[in-house]
């Protein structure tokens, strides 16, 4: 396995194994799309595999499918793949949302926003009846622990940094080689590191209450996650227990049982 650069890079340093896992997970998600559906299209390299696959299906099966893009880049990719674009204003309720994620926990909570598109991604995903996330297995962990992207009004950046620190986080203003990263909505992104996130729902509510934060990258609305592995795609649905969690719970129950036996 060759790991040279992040999944956001394209080119020779790409991790071929991980790319393949993204691709099969995306294809699995796209297999759920049916004729006549309105599909929310996420942003990122995995979403782009899904867009390509959806374009192929539309052509091969002569399907009538419409896409709601979450970024300008996704809009261009959809057009290149002959997916007709519609807006949320026309379709405020959509059939299915397909996207990648940066991290997934055992309860299918997500961290998104690696590409800085999480505000639109959250809005479009909330419009969908079914929220289907596709990731490679390396992104699935018991708990979330990546820094949480916060889209922030530029004039509020210092105030949001203070709120993040007061909540026990470490904020970092996202930069590019040319300066501060600016979202399509004209805002900045603060990546807020809270370490291991034990209660994502609580942190989600807290971050939403911060003055100056437009939207944050914790998503608690995935209905299913398609995980690309070396042995194919594994689908987890909300309410399922991931093997890693199950194993830990079984160990805990066993230990508690042994403890109880000793006390008796």
- How many Cα atoms are found within 13 Å in the side-chain-facing hemisphere of 53? 22
Q: Token digits for 131?
A: 């929220």
Task: Clarify whether 230 is annotated catalytic.
Answer: no
Contact at 8 Å (CB) between 45 and 100?
Answer: yes
Which of these segments, 109-117, 184-192, 203-211, 241-249, binds ligand 5RP (CB under 6 A)?
Answer: 109-117
Smallest separation, CB 178 to ligand 5RP (Å): 19
**Which among 121, 136, 151, 215 is annotated as catalytic?**
121
Residues 35-64 binding ligand 5RP (CB under 6 A) are 42-46
Task: Report how many helices (DSSP H) and strands (DSSP E) the chain contains, helices first.
Answer: 7, 15
Q: Which is nearer to ligand 5RP, 160 or 189 (CB)?
A: 189
Is 69 an interacting residue with respect to ligand 5RP (CB under 6 A)? no
Which of these segments, 90-98, 112-120, 154-162, 192-200, binds ligand 5RP (CB under 6 A)?
Answer: 112-120
CA-based torsion, 184, 187, 188, 193: positive or negative: negative
Smallest separation, CB 174 to ligand 5RP (Å): 12
Among 53, 77, 118, 174, interactor with ligand 5RP by CB under 6 A: 118
Contact at 8 Å (CB) between 112 and 139?
Answer: no
Among 3, 4, 5, 8, interactor with ligand 5RP by CB under 6 A: 8
Is 187 an interacting residue with respect to ligand 5RP (CB under 6 A)? no
Q: CA 18, CA 1: separation in Å to the nearest integer?
A: 9
Q: Is 225 exposed, middle or buried (0-12, 13-18, 19+ CB in 10 A)?
A: buried
Angle of helix 45-61 relative to helix 16-30, nearest 10 degrees?
Answer: 50
Is residue 86 within a helix (H) or strand (E), and if so which, with residue range?
none
Catalytic amino acids?
Answer: 121
Give the footprint of ligand 5RP on this chain (CB under 6 A): 7-8, 42-46, 99-102, 112-118, 121
């Amino acid at each position: 396995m060759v790991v040279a650069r992040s999944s956001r890079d394209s080119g020779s340093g790409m991790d071929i194994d991980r790319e393949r896992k993204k691709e099969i997970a995306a294809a699995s998600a796209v297999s759920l799309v049916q004729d006549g559906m309105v599909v929310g299209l996420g942003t990122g390299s995995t979403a782009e595999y899904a867009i390509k696959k959806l374009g192929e299906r539309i052509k091969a099966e002569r399907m009538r499918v419409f896409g709601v893009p979450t970024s300008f880049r996704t809009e261009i990719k959809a057009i290149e793949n002959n997916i007709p674009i519609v807006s949320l204003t026309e379709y405020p309720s959509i059939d299915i949302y397909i996207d990648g994620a940066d991290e997934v926990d055992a309860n299918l909570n997500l961290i998104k926003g690696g590409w800085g598109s999480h505000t639109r991604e959250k809005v479009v995903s909330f419009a969908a009846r079914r929220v289907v996330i596709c990731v490679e297995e390396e992104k699935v962990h018991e708990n979330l622990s990546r820094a949480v992207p916060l889209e922030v009004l530029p004039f509020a950046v210092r105030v949001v940094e203070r709120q993040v620190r007061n909540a026990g986080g470490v904020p970092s203003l996202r930069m590019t080689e040319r300066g501060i990263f600016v979202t399509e909505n004209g805002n900045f992104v603060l990546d807020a590191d809270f370490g291991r996130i034990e209660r994502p729902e609580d942190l989600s509510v807290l971050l939403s209450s911060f003055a100056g934060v437009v939207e944050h990258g914790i998503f608690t609305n995935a209905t299913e996650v398609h995980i690309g592995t070396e042995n194919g795609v594994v689908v987890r649905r909300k309410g399922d227990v991931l093997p890693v969690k199950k194993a830990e719970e079984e160990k805990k129950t066993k230990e508690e049982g042994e403890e109880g036996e000793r006390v008796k």
